[in-house]
Every structure is written in C-alpha cells, then in structure tokens.
Chain A
C-alpha cells in the first residue's frame, strides 16, 4: 500500500489555500485532522473540532451555504467520515459547488490505538461519494497526487468534491490548537466580518 505522510499531505492540500477574502475556510474533524490542520498553520479561517464526531462535513456544508462566494474544505479522517456516511448523501443532494471534503485515510482509528477501520476492509469512501452524486472524487496515493489535488481545490467545481488521500498510520507529535470553542467561533466569524455581539 503506497501512502503519504499525513503532515506533508495536508501541507500539499492547503498549498493553494489563498489569501484574504479568497482564502479557503477549513473545518477539521476531531483528533489527528485537527492536529494536522494546526500544524499546517493556525488561522482565523480554521475551525477545529475537538469533539462532535461525525460533524465536520456538515459544519462545513453550513459554512459553504452561508458563504457561497468562499471555498470551504472539510478536512477529516476515515473514522470520522465513516460515522457520517449519511452526510455524504445529504451533501450530494444539496449540491454545494464550493464545498470539498478531504478524507485523510489511514484505514485506522489512529487516536485510540490504531484499530483497523472499514476503509481497510473494503469500503471505498470515494466510491460512496460518487454514488451519492458528488461532482468529483479522487484518491491520492503519493505526495505528487496530493499536490495535484491541492491545486484542484483552488479551482472552481460544478458541485461537491470528495478527495481521499491515503496516508500512513504514523502519528506525528500532536500540534494542539486552542480548545476554547467560543474563541475559535468568534475569531472565525470576525474573519468573515461579523463582530461579537
């Protein structure tokens, strides 16, 4: 199995994130994807989940519908998205053109002792998304392929996209963002021009 080191993968995926009002908004799923997003560079436009497992893609859909002019990325793992396979049906039916779901797939539950997950036993997340009506799906198995997906994320789409990046099971040192969710919420909204009440 060819795979990519996860921190290098996330850096490549966000390499064309953009600046200012063109900057992509990113919602990360709990555990390693949140550590990976923080390691790639903290930003007001990051909303890190520390819990609410299964929620990342749907939070990102809400952001995408409220901010149709912005690109929105849900950055999550195979375990988190497996808990919310139905959300892929919901996103497929809602058809947001500005939402991309990126699944960092190590085929394991890395945070809890690296128990195997369904994606290592035959479940193909990209095919699930395709069957749910996503406009574009892809699986990257090398850093070059992850870099190509990073470039794709900067391009307009005709509908929702789901990209799987096959990553290794290694667990790099944790890179912890703030846990204070009201702070994360307020700075994210301020970055979009909404002042605290």
Chain B
C-alpha cells in the first residue's frame, strides 16, 4: 500500500473547450483511481458533484458523507492507518473547519490529499464567501499542508496525479485548489 503510484498519468492534449468543461471531473476520477484512491469523503459542493456521484456509484469505491469537513481529515488518517488511500473533498469554506484536525496528519506525518473547490475569488456574487476564500492558502500552509492551484481544465488530472504521488508515496499533506475560474462563477 505504500508503493508510489504512477506519475505518468496522461494529460489531455489540450485544455478542454468550454463546451466540454464537464470532461475534467471524469478525468479527475480516473486519475484518483489510477493513484489507488478508492475511498473519499465529502461535504457536498457543486464543483465536486460529478466526482461525488462517481465515488458513490462505483462498486469498487467507497464514499463517506460528512457533517463537517474536519471529520474527513480524521477519517483519511484512520483509513491510512488501516492501509487505504482516501481523498477529502470540500469547498473552500470547509477548509476553515479543518484547522485543528490538521494537527493529526502533520504530527503523525501521514499522507493527506485534499481537493478544494474554490468560491469567493472569481465573479463571486456572495461576499460572505470571500473572507474564508482569502484565508484558504495561508491557513493550510500554516498547518503544514502544501498547496497547489489549478485554473485550467487540462491541468486538473496531471496536477492531482502528482499531488497523489507526493501524498501517498512521500507522506506529504497536499491540498489541490480548483480555482473558481475553472469551475465557473455560481449562477444565481
């Protein structure tokens, strides 16, 4: 279970055109499965809807619905203790709920892969999303989590592939932020 997953997950030839923007969640799911991630937990976000659906429907995978995001941090640590690779899916607002629980993977030097869909940064209608959005990267880094951002659909799969390799092969805590520009501003 501790062997490093392959680094050579193929990237799409070109960024997906806007009409095919829904392609990246499927690529992301395939990337996670290739990386040996068969377990995921989530507080729902519209940007993760397709990924959640695939985890819920795949008989080879397990999905755990959370009541708050820090549960997912503890859950992923427990899954790793038991030999399983897990990913935690959340919206940017949920990062704030995770802070103290991030002590556990930091102190135990456990792998952690967080996939964070961003709100409050690109055409955001709701200003209440902005303060936590601005705090996501500094607060994660303050708790020892490395942060990588994705803004282009074609970069999602290769970025997550390398993040998974570093997390599970090298005992790193990594959050991949999926920019709101990639996801699109929420329609009101």
Contacts and interface: CB of A to CB of B under 8 A. Distances in A.
A181 B109 CA distance: 8
A94 B83 contact: no
A62 interface: yes
Given A181-B108, A185-B108, A65 B2 contact: no
B169 interface: yes
Contacts, number: 118
Contact of A55 (B1, B66, B74, B82): B74
Interface string B71-103: 111111111111110100000000000001101
A58 B74 CA distance: 5
Contacts of B109: 181-182, 185
Interface string A53-91: 111101111111111000000000000000010110110
Interface residues of A, number: 40
A65 B70 contact: no
Q: How many B residues touch the partner, as a band?
A: 35 or more
Contacts of A197: 2-3, 169, 171
B79 to A, nearest CB: 4
Nearest to B76: A62
Contacts of A93: 65
A51 B77 contact: no
A22 B39 CA distance: 24
Contacts of A189: 81, 83
Nearest to B3: A197
B100 A194 contact: no
Interface in A77-121: 84, 86-87, 89-90, 93-94
Nearest to B108: A181
B71 A87 contact: yes
A63, A86, A182 pick with most chain B CB within 10 angstroms: A63
A60 B103 contact: no
B78 A61 contact: yes
A189 B104 CA distance: 16
A52 interface: yes
Contacts of A47: 81
A66 B62 CA distance: 10
Contact of A59 (B3, B75, B169): B75
Interface of A: 25, 27, 47, 49-56, 58-67, 84, 86-87, 89-90, 93-94, 181-182, 184-185, 188-189, 192-197
22 contacts: A47-B81, A49-B104, A51-B104, A53-B100, A58-B75, A59-B75, A59-B77, A59-B104, A62-B75, A62-B84, A65-B64, A65-B78, A66-B79, A67-B82, A84-B71, A86-B71, A182-B109, A185-B110, A189-B83, A192-B82, A194-B1, A197-B171
